[in-house]
Amino acid sequence: MTSSPAPDAAAGRRTAAFFDLDKTIIATSSTAAFSRPFLAGGLLSRGAVLRAAYAHFLFLVGSADADQTERMRAHLSSMVTGWPVDQVSAIVAETLHELIDPYVYAEAVTLIAEHRAAGRDVVIVSASGAELVEPIAAMLGADQAVSTRMEVVDGRYTGEIDFYAYGENKAEAVRRLAAEHGYDLDGSYAYSDSITDAPMLSAVGHGFAVNPDRTLRRLAAEQGWGVLTFNRPVALRRVLSPRASVATGVAALVGTGAAIVVWRLLRRRSV
């Protein structure tokens, strides 16, 4: 398996790099990060914020099992019932840089830039809602985003889920995008911190476990996937101008040593 991003244009192939979001690109839970502004906007109660904080704690320590994850999904689905979509989008737009910008991994930004330079599309694939994921993907300069989609009627969430971007559904979405855009999945890459994304990592030729727990690390060894450690959250605005893409900011990140860290980690796979 090729360990470092290599140009595909010369080979005449179209490929992509698929990135999970939480704890892979950003060092926090994108959903929990917005609980306070949702409270201030009257969308959440204090009790709901406390439950979101508990869910965030489980997320950070990696102790949420499949049953807990499903209960959290059901809770979040119930919680957003009746919320106005426009208000949610406005809150996200107003607070995005404050809440997400400081938690973006420098190593992830560099890696995204390397894939773009190699001619690959960059796709964010996250179980969080589209209203959160799509603005974050745009901020990162991603080409596309796959996310959970809630049913909307008359401008409000009904509480029903049209598409849950989780587990095998992520892999199915990756294969669907490959069919639509002509991606060669054998030459494509995928990155995630979660064992639940094993189907997505298996769907491409170059899977990488990022900050894996013991279970995912063991599976990565069995499957021959790469293992990366990201541990340098940075404020994205420090390395990118408001109108710049991730690719144009890579030179600034190289100065921080992030590119060297990623290069060394990737090189270990080829030794």
Contact yes or no for 219/227 (Cβ under 8 A): no
Cα four-point dihedral sign 148, 154, 155, 159: negative
List the beta bridge partners of residue 161.
150
The CB-side HSE value for 128 (13 A sphere, CA atoms) comes to 25
Cα four-point dihedral sign 229, 235, 238, 243: positive
**Which pair of structure tokens corresponds to residue 179?**
């069919």
Collapse the DSSP code of 146 into the 3-class scheme (helix H, G, I; strand E, B; otherwise coil) and give the result: strand
Q: Could you give the dihedral angle defined by the CA atoms of residues 153, 159, 162 and 166, in that order, rounded to the nearest 10 degrees? A: 150
Contact yes or no for 72/56 (Cβ under 8 A): no
Task: Quote the CA–CA distance of 180 and 81 in Å, as a whole number.
Answer: 32
DSSP code of 84?
B
Task: Quote the CA–CA distance of 197 and 134 in Å, as a whole number.
Answer: 19
Task: Quote the CA–CA distance of 46 and 242 in Å, as a whole number.
Answer: 34
**Which pair of structure tokens corresponds to residue 213?**
């727990």
Can you state the angle between helices 85-99 and 130-140, rounded to 10 degrees? 40
Task: Quote the CA–CA distance of 156 and 80 in Å, as a whole number.
Answer: 9
Write out the catalytic residue numbers. 20, 22
